[in-house]
Amino acid sequence: MTKPSKPVKVKSEPRVSVSELNVRKAATRLLSVKLVSTEIAYVQRALGASATQEKLDEHVLAVRTMPWSAIAIPD
């Protein structure tokens, strides 16, 4: 009879708040230009209240290559 194995602890990545300030800081660190408010709002909508730093960075980089029609909310 074998002993039951111990549960493996999965190391979770820390999550950060997806606030306007944190999105602006990520953009400053990753890009040579600032994001406009519509781009910041898109990143916040896409990620929700919190995300890993890696996901935040991915979305900040991606938003600059997206078509404006996909980012802006029509009136």
Domain ranges of the chain: 15-70
Place of tokens 């997206």: 66
Q: Is the pLDDT of residue 68 over 90?
A: yes
What's the confidence (pLDDT) of residue 3? 72
For 2-36, how does the pLDDT look when each residue is reduced to its tens digit (9 = 90+)?
677 777 777 788 999 999 999 999 999 999 899 99
Within 8 A by CB and 6+ apart from 9, the residues are none
Q: Does domain 15-70 have CATH number 1.10.238?
A: yes
Q: For residue range 42-63, list pLDDT tens digits in order.
A: 999 999 999 999 999 999 999 9
